[in-house]
């Protein structure tokens, strides 16, 4: 079985879980550990990607430019990557990140909107960096639709396309179907990014590898949106058990998880009622903090809001629906009480 390339996204996806509060010193310490362990790619940006520090997405404690600089200056071997979401980031932020020193950009869109990635993937290649396509919310579409979208990204010059389980809603069979379909249809690499809302992040990651995935994602101590991601250290341990030598030091990763990352986490990352309802309903993981705030404001159960978001098939960028739905549900409850 092919040895996959691992990307650690603690310093991007993990920022959702700590309300975008990473400091430059924390970035240096985590990058230092990941780099020493031999992790080949480390993703650093706001959780919503370049230029994501906004009132809608959540403001960063430290400007992401400073965090990316800290990562680039610290890494001796690993490539530094950033996430880019068209409509949130612009070409200017992408160019600035390349000037700072990122080597990989991961262009993320809803899995039916690959056409809007063209100018950014082409720009990335013009700027001389690796371009990765991210098909978010991949659970919402069958394999054949993902193939069509991935082929578009490939035609724009992408070096890899990811099946992204943004809501932690996929099960192993669905992962295998999607990853194997992309592998058969594309001449470029295929990746997989998991979330753990159904408790399947590591299992799904292994399923993706067995289906031919070339690149896999994880976060140290599972630090990520919702119920977190597949823990990088657990992925490495599992691969070691499978006699797949990634060249990454498990002992260094375990020390990093226990001594550096764990103290940063404000609360244990568990599959609680809210996270399970998000994965079961197939709702984008980064919605959770906003859902909890709205539920508290309108005296609702977060699960009620999650279920309605799932029924409406909400996607990234539709965070404004959360308040609208909460208000509608609160009015409906009040009407039923009065009636």
Query: Which residues form the catalytic set?
Result: 16
| Bridge partners, residue 43, by sequence | 81
The CA distances from residue 58 to 15, 50, 71, 165, in Å, are: 10, 13, 21, 22
Classify residue 102 by burial, with Cβ atoms within 10 Å: 0-12, 13-18, 19+: buried
Pick left, alpha or beta for residue 137 (phi over 0 → left; psi -120 to 50 → alpha; otherwise beta). left
H or E, element range at 241: helix 232-241
Residue 82 tokens read as 């950033």
Question: Is position 12 annotated in a ligand binding site?
Answer: yes
For strand 130-136 and strand 160-164, is the pairing parallel, antiparallel, or unpaired? Answer: parallel
Q: 180-215 burial, b for 16+ CB within 10 Å, e for fewer? A: bbbbebbebbbbbbbbbbbebbbbbbbbbbebbbbb
- Look at residues 187, 23, 5, 158 and name the one whose alpha carbon lies nearest to residue 79: 5
Is 284 annotated among the ligand-binding residues? yes
Q: Which two tokens stand for residue 290?
A: 């906003």
| Structure tokens given for 6 | 């691992």
13 marked as binding residue: yes
Tokens 């706001």 found at: 46
Q: Which residue has the tokens 């020493």?
A: 36
DSSP secondary structure letters along 249-294: -HHHHHHHIIIIIGGG-SS-----HHHHHHHHHT--GGGHHHHHHH
Cβ 7 vs Cβ 45: under 8 Å? no
**How many other C-beta atoms lie within 10 A of the C-beta of residue 270?**
11
* 77 carries a ligand binding annotation: no
Per the annotation, binding residues for Mn(2+) are: 13, 193, 195
Per the annotation, binding residues for substrate are: 12-13, 166, 193, 284
Per the annotation, binding residues are: 12-13, 166, 193, 195, 284
């Amino acid at each position: 079985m092919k040895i996959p390339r691992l990307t650690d996204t603690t310093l991007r996806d993990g920022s959702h879980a700590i309300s975008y509060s990473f400091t430059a010193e924390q970035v240096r310490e985590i990058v230092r550990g990941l780099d020493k362990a031999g992790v080949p790619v480390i993703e650093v940006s706001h959780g919503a990607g370049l230029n994501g520090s906004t009132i809608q997405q959540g403001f960063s404690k430290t400007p992401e430019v400073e965090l990316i600089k800290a990562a680039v200056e610290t890494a001796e071997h690993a490539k530094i990557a950033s996430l880019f979401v068209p409509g949130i980031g612009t070409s200017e932020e992408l160019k600035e990140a390349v000037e700072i020193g990122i080597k990989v950009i991961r262009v993320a869109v809803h899995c039916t909107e690959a056409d809007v990635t063209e100018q950014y993937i082409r720009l990335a290649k013009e700027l001389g960096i690796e371009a990765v396509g991210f098909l978010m919310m991949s659970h919402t579409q069958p394999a054949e639709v993902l193939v069509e979208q991935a082929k578009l990204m490939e035609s724009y010059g992408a070096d890899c396309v990811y099946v992204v389980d943004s809501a932690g809603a996929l099960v192993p069979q669905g992962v295998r179907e999607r990853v194997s379909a992309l592998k058969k249809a594309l001449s470029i690499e295929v990746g997989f990014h998991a979330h753990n809302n159904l408790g399947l992040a590591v299992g799904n990651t292994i399923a993706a590898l067995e289906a031919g995935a070339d690149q896999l994602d994880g976060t140290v101590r599972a630090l990520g949106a919702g119920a977190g991601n597949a823990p990088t250290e657990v992925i490495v341990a599992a691969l070691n058990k499978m006699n797949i030598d990634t060249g990454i030091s498990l002992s260094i990763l375990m020390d990093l998880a226990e001594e550096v990352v764990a103290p940063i986490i404000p609360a244990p990352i568990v599959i609680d009622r809210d996270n399970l309802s998000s994965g079961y309903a197939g709702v984008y993981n980064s919605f959770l903090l906003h859902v909890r705030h709205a539920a508290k404001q309108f005296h609702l159960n977060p699960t009620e809001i999650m279920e309605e978001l799932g029924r409406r098939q909400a996607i990234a960028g539709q965070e404004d629906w959360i308040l609208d739905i909460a208000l509608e549900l609160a009015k409906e409850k009040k009407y039923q009480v009065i009636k």
